[in-house]
Amino acid sequence: MEDFAVTQDQMENVARTIYNFMPPTPQYNWPLLSQRVGTEVWVKHENHTPTGAFKIRGGLVYVDYLSGQRNRSFEFIAATRGNHGQSVATAASHKGFSSKIVVPEGNSKEKNRSMVAQGAEVLTYGKDFQEAFEYATELSKSHNIHMFPSFHPLLVRGVATYAWEVFKEISDLDAVYVPIGLGSGVCGVIAARDLLGLKTEIIGVVAENAPAYSLSLKSGRLISTNSADTIADGLACRVPNDTALDIIKKSESRIVEVSENQIRSAIRCFFTDTHNVAEGAGAATLAAVLKEKQKVESKRVAVILTGGNIDNSVYQDVLNEKLSLIHISEPTRPERIGDALVWV
């Protein structure tokens, strides 16, 4: 299976698989957030899934497909910084299968605990995702365990459903900002947009400290980095996927880099303006919109809050930092922005 395009029948079929486990997630236009950015901003709340992140959609579709193809039991192994692993553990347990998850040293303690609670055996290896991935691949071969991919057409098809929900519910979107880890999310958004024949601009977001996809898109060839040290662990990719990069290039999408301070500030903004918990990767999209305030002026944009799985200690540290100086005028009069009444 190599085709990453999605047909209407395929989208409806995978949506049914997902909705048998969880309902669609909401998308809201938060007045304070729109006021902060200075334009109409919608938030897709993938932090409201049963695992607290968007990855569960792809995991459910992949495991469901395998369980229907072969009449035998599976054991899965995967490498993760957390959200992919929670997806694998939950989807596998849902079908009665076991899973092993390899995480790098220093991985999120809360995500590790969640994966264990969701039925996985968690193994620690390597200094970053790439080393954990290589070790998981070795174990897969030596122990004959099914390697759960981090990027695959079925995963893309599954996560594309969140974009499908966004485009069906919010008309005339000018742009969608989506974080890029290994690429399933941004490729899913592209697939959903193309299926519906829309002209919405897709903007990928990466961390300045993990710029592999940005560097690769600019150069026109795959470029790996030596490190990916960022608070946004979901963006900590050193080696891009060549297929994902090709899809991004062909879609004429662009990529915005955001700094660690901008990500941390966006985490605080999500809490201040919406009282939602956002992990670094999920907050990166808001950081990008705030960075591009002039570009999005008078536009209707959406940001994908891909997850809220951030360690308690890290979150407390971020919230206790001084809020970045983003000027918001004192409210003087109400003005309608889309469906929301905003004080400006």
| 255-307 pLDDT per residue, tens | 999 999 999 999 999 999 999 999 999 999 999 999 999 999 999 999 999 99
Q: Give the pair of three-digit tokens for residue 127.
A: 């200094």
Class of domain 56-147: alpha beta
For the cut 50, the answer to whether the pLDDT of residue 329 exceeds it is: no
Angle at 172 between CA 168 and CA 173, to 5 degrees: 85
- DSSP summary character for residue 21: T
In 3D space, the residue among 8, 288, 47 whose CA is nearest the CA of residue 164 turns out to be: 8
How many Å apart are CA 182 and CA 184, to the nearest integer? 6
Angle at 246 between CA 245 and CA 251, to 5 degrees: 100
- Residue 126 exposed, middle or buried by CB count within 10 Å (0-12, 13-18, 19+): middle
> CB–CB of 310/280 below 8 Å?
yes
The contacts of residue 53 (CB under 8 Å, 6+ apart) are 46, 47, 83, 86, 87, 234, 279, 282, 306, 307, 308, 309
* pLDDT bucket at 338, cuts 50 / 70 / 90: low
What integer pLDDT is reported at residue 108 of this predicted model? 82
Can you give the residue ranges of every domain in the chain? 8-53+157-320, 56-147
What integer pLDDT is reported at residue 2 of this predicted model? 59
For the cut 50, the answer to whether the pLDDT of residue 321 exceeds it is: yes
For the cut 60, the answer to whether the pLDDT of residue 326 exceeds it is: no
What integer best gives the mean pLDDT of the chain?
Answer: 91
| Beta-bridge partners for 79 | 102
CATH number of the structural domain 8-53+157-320: 3.40.50.1100
| Same CATH fold assignment for domains 8-53+157-320 and 56-147 | yes
| 176-225 pLDDT per residue, tens | 999 999 999 999 999 999 999 999 999 999 999 999 999 999 999 999 99
In 3D space, the residue among 150, 159, 152 whose CA is nearest the CA of residue 82 turns out to be: 150
